[in-house]
Structure 1
Amino acid sequence: MAIAVLSSGVTGLNAAERALGNSAHAIANIGTQGFQPASANFAESSPAGTGVTISFRGQELLQTEAPSATNLAVETTNSLVYKAQFDLSAKVIQAADQNLGTLIDIKA
C-alpha cells in the first residue's frame, strides 16, 4: 500500500512539474507573434488510484501578425495551482515514507 502511495505521489510531482514548465513556456513566449499556448489536461491513471497523467493540447505557432494568445493572468494563476499541486504531492510522498518507516520498525 505504501509503495502504491509513493508511486501516486511521484506521478503527481512529475505532472505538476511538466504543467509548470508548460506555463513558463507560455509566459516566455508572451511577446511571440502568433503563439498559441498549450493547455494542460490532467487525468487519473488506470487503474484508479495509481496516479495522474498529463497531456497537452493546442500549442502552435501561427504564421500571423496577431499577438500572442498567452493570457498572463491565467498563466500566473495556473503556475500557483501547479506549485500547490507539487507541494501536496511532496507531502503525500513524505507521509507514505513515514508510514513505510513505521511499518519497517514494527516488523523489526
Structure 2
Amino acid sequence: MSGLKAFSRALDSSGHNVANASTSGFIPQQTSFQEQAAGGVTANISKEGSSLASQELSGTDLANEIVQSIQFKLGFDLSAKVVKTADEILGTLIDIKA
C-alpha cells in the first residue's frame, strides 16, 4: 500500500510541475523515494533549486516530466499488482485453512 501512496504522490507532483510549466519563474518540485525502517516506501517532495536568473522562464523540463510520469505510472501499476497478488494468496490460504 505504501508503494501505491508514494507513486500517487509522485504523479501528483509531476502533474503540478506540468500544469505550471508556463508559469514565469516557477521552480518545479523534485520527488525522491525513501525506504521506511519498518518496510515500505515513501515519496518526499521538495522544491530544490534556486530562483531563475530570468524570471520569464519556468524551470520545468517537460521531456523529463513525461519520462518521470511514465515511470511513476508503471510503479503505481506494479504496486497495485503486488497488492492484488497478496490478496489472492491470502484468499487461497484462507480457503485451504477453512
TM-score, structure 2 normalization? 0.91
Structure 1: 5+ residue runs without aligned partners? 1-9
Q: Percent identity?
A: 45
Report whether the alignment pairs 1:15 with 2:6.
Answer: yes
Provide the residue aligned with 1:94 in structure 2: 84
CA contact (8 A) 1:39 1:59 kept: yes
Q: How does 1:5-84 map to 2 (within 5 A)?
A: 10-47=1-38, 50-58=39-47, 62=51, 65-84=55-74
CA–CA distance in structure 2, aligned partners of residues 87 and 56 of structure 1: 20
Structure 2: 5+ residue runs without aligned partners? none
RMSD: 1.8
Cα shift at 1:65: 2.2
CA contact (8 A) 1:29 1:35 kept: yes
CA–CA distance in structure 2, aligned partners of residues 35 and 59 of structure 1: 11
Change over 3 Å in CA distance of 1:44–1:93 after alignment to 2: same
CA–CA distance in structure 1, aligned partners of residues 49 and 23 of structure 2: 11
User: What do the CA deviations read for 1:31-86 (whole angstroms, capped 9, x no partner)?
Assistant: 10010101101011112xx2101111226895962300000000000000000000
Query: Which amino acid counterpart does residue 82 of structure 1 have in structure 2?
Result: F
Cα shift at 1:30: 0.6
Q: SS in structure 2 opposite 1:36?
A: coil
Aligned residues: 97
TM-score, structure 1 normalization? 0.83
